[in-house]
Amino acid sequence: MAAKSTYTKMFPVSWTELHRDAKALAWRLADLGPFKGLVAITRGGLVPAAIVARELNVRLIDTVCCSTYEKTRRGGKVEVLKGTQAEQDSGEDWLIVDDLVDTGVTAERVREMMPKAHFATVYAKPAGKPMVDTFITEVSQDTWILFPWDQEAVMSTPIVELKATDRRR
């Protein structure tokens, strides 16, 4: 069981950056295909999978629906809510796409279902890197990647007010 991960820094990703990085992943994968189909790991893999599928002209797309019990403590148990037809051939010639690999427990669970598939993520942390075949950007283990679908625009505090708060501390 992986230890509880503590995240000390944030890595916000905009829609534009996510699109750019997912296309970069598609460039890497284009040389490895052609793939029979693509399996997106829900929910984070859905948007990157849509971009990669379009760039690779893949139209057979399935999902593996995963739920990790513990939102904060990474490395917990991964429940598979729905499997995929790709398991029939152990994932041979199938491409698995997720947004990121952190501790690797999700990738490990899905790899058990499809050991012959090519596993690709847009982002990877050191602990999960060995579990994936292709990724684009590595971030440190203590960094939380904040995806555009998890962000909203809020008013920021003026610097003078931040300084006044610091002085009162």
Ligand X SMILES: Nc1nc2[nH]cnc2c(=O)[nH]1
> By the criterion CB under 6 A, which residues form the site for ligand X?
74, 100, 102, 144-145, 147, 150
Tokens of 2: 């992986």
Q: CA distances (Å), 90 to each of 5, 64, 117, 133, in order?
A: 31, 14, 7, 16
Q: Pick the binder of ligand PRP from 37, 48, 91, 128 (CB under 6 A).
A: 128
Our finding on whether 100 is near ligand PRP (CB under 6 A) is yes
Question: Can you tell me which of 25, 49, 58, 99 binds ligand PRP, judged by CB under 6 A?
Answer: 99
∠ CA 103-108-109, nearest 5°, is: 115
Q: Distance between CA atoms of 138 and 73, rounded to whole angstroms?
A: 20
Residue 39 assigned as binding residue: no
Q: Is 44 annotated as a binding residue?
A: yes
Which of the stretches 38-46, 83-91, 123-131, 141-149 binds Mg ion when contact is defined by CB under 5 A? 38-46
104 is in an annotated binding site: yes
List 102, 114, 132, 136, residue binding ligand PRP (CB under 6 A): 102
Q: Which of 74, 86, 120, 135 binds ligand PRP (CB under 6 A)?
A: 74
Point out the annotated binding site for 5-phospho-alpha-D-ribose 1-diphosphate. Answer: 43-44, 98-106
User: For binding to ligand PRP (CB under 6 A), which residues are involved?
Assistant: 41-44, 68, 74-75, 98-107, 128
